[in-house]
Amino acid sequence: MVTLLEALREVTTIDLDAIDVDVATKFSPVQDMTCNQFLVQATLTMPQHAHVLAFAVDEAFRLSNALGVDEKDTISFEQLVVDIASVNIIKEVKPKLHPQGLVLLQTCCSKLDVINEIVNHCEQIVKIFDIYGISSKECCIKVPATVNGLKACKILTKRNIKTLATTVFSTSQALAAAEAGCVAISPYLNELDAHFDRKLYTDYSNPVKESPGVQLTHKIQRYYRSAGIKTQVKAASFIAPIDAVSMAGIDAITVGPTILEGLANTQVSERDNEIIRDAIAASNETELPNATTWLTDNATELTETMNDTNVSRLQRRANEVFTNAEEQLRALARVAILNKKQPHLETL
């Protein structure tokens, strides 16, 4: 009998949404490895990585001048520590990926108000990757698909930095990301809050026919394929294995350990076969998008579509959640910095 994971691998690329060597090894082959601030925090607080932040502090002091970070700028220096720590846990997973696989790290949501700050932080991350042996060809920066985020992606593309537009909730964001030259996008099947409050998650009988997030993702895939757009669809935000099944035929899915376990341990049922057939058909129908340029004229049309009540709500909430996680990471860095500056004194 065929498992769901085996069936999906026949029609969709599987990426790992976790910073975990063991999981990458167990479910090999996986193509890319994606992560965000939540996953970085979860990994850094594991006992086996207890030393990483202390190492990152030492490295931040060593590299700050070369990277243009002022040690007296508290937030920037703390973020440098976080970035160095993030890269060093990520690089452990890189050898377990496909030889052409990318590692993806998300930029700060707190910087989304200023385009140059987004660009500068993405460039800093790429420089740090390079310092620790991962070239710009092997890494990709996840940038939230706000108007400023997508404008930043366009600049970064011209500077040969790979970007993925994440938290995509609309076709306009997807088309603007393609215009910006993003190598991939991540439409969210489920809103972020559904991961914390399962009452917000709906277990559809057939997500391909019922789920707005699933239908949006297939529509984007149809647009891209019909228009010959090279940007990949890398679907994200899975809560149950059935979400992944509904992505059959999509370019790629990035899934965490729990979903991977569920897919690997479940045999394909008649219901699954029906969903897989519907999904493949939905992603391959011909549907051309309207010919529009989204990032010219100060991205006026994109801004208007982003003001759609639901898209605006979902994007704003995603930015809030990731900014909060980002602040928690900097708090971990702050403690590590203080521990270096004020070593523990034994009581006599």
**Residues annotated as part of the active site:** 142
Between CA 340 and CA 348 the distance in angstroms is 21
Residue type, 311: V
Between CA 287 and CA 5 the distance in angstroms is 28
Neighbouring C-beta atoms of residue 293, cutoff 10 Å: 12
What's the farthest any 2 CA atoms get from each other in the chain? 77
Extract the runs of DSSP E, i.e. beta strands, from the chain.
13-16, 33-34, 103-106, 139-144, 163-168, 184-187, 232-235, 252-255
Between CA 206 and CA 97 the distance in angstroms is 32
CB 81, CB 63: distance < 8 Å: no
Between CA 111 and CA 37 the distance in angstroms is 14
Residue-wise burial string across 252-264, b where 16 or more C-beta atoms lie within 10 A, e elsewhere: bbbbbbebbbbbe
Between CA 182 and CA 140 the distance in angstroms is 10
State CA 274 to chain mean position distance.
Answer: 29
CB 207, CB 237: distance < 8 Å: no
Local structure of residue 188 (DSSP, 8 states):
B
State CA 8 to chain mean position distance.
Answer: 20
Angle between helical axes of 212-227 and 171-180 (0-180°, round to 10): 40
